[in-house]
Amino acid sequence: MHLPNHSQFILASVSPRRRRLLQQAGYQFEVVPSAVDETAAEATATDSELLSRRLALAKARDVAERFADRLVLGADTVVDADGHIIGKALDAADAERITRRLFSGPHKVITGVALVWAVRNIEIVEADSTTVYPNPLSEAQIAEHIAGGGWQGKAGAYGIQETGDAFVQRIEGSFTNVMGLPMERIERLLSALDIYPHRRGADG
């Protein structure tokens, strides 16, 4: 695969939410999905933050093996409910079970982020945690959420950018972290590597 010279880094994720956050911040990047199997790691994991960091690094390393001369950003988001790791729902019934559990009390959304630049021997791995205080949901809201399919492909079976105030009372921490990428942390890490957003008009 040939990547344009103007792209600043590679995003090792096909998540439309992560791609949108980076685009909105003004970064130019290419998307190269990793081939990491998340399910095996999730099945044996006992620590949410450790899992998110481990998977983010595995994804970045996987893509960096193919693009050693490029900076690669990997990320993985997990949800923690009272110490129990909540991943993506397997089906509608699983999504309903997860929704009832998560929206009965506060839970944490944890995103691990990893930057790998093989030729420069750079590996940076961090994690960001946000506590979500949910609104109690009615039976009708739960049924509508499951029927709408918005839970598909999302850790914790919901997307805060879609459910908004109806599902969430307040949060403590990064809002974009709940969407899948803690942009405050990402911008700090990329700035430390002299990677800055490319904004329209910045270069004339």
Q: Exactly one of 62, 76, 80, 128 is catalytic; which is it?
A: 76
pLDDT tens-digit map of 16-32? 999 999 999 999 999 99
Banded model confidence at residue 151, pLDDT cuts 50, 70, 90: confident
Q: Cβ atoms within 10 A of the Cβ of 124, count? A: 15
pLDDT greater at residue 131 or residue 105: 131
Distance between terminal CA atoms of the chain? Answer: 30
Can you give the residue ranges of every domain in the chain? 9-192
- The model's confidence at residue 204, banded by pLDDT at 50, 70 and 90, is very low
Q: How confident is the model at residue 6 (pLDDT cuts 50, 70, 90)?
A: low
Q: What is the pTM of this model?
A: 0.86
Domain 9-192 listed as CATH 3.40.50.1860: no
Digit-coded pLDDT (tens) for 43-57: 677 789 999 999 999
Please report which helix (H) or strand (E) contains residue 171, including its range: strand 168-172
Question: What is the C-alpha separation between 32 and 3, in angstroms, rounded?
Answer: 10
**Is-catalytic flag, 194?**
no
Please check the confidence at residue 201 and state whether its pLDDT lies above 50.
no
- What percentage of the chain has pLDDT greater than the value 90? 60
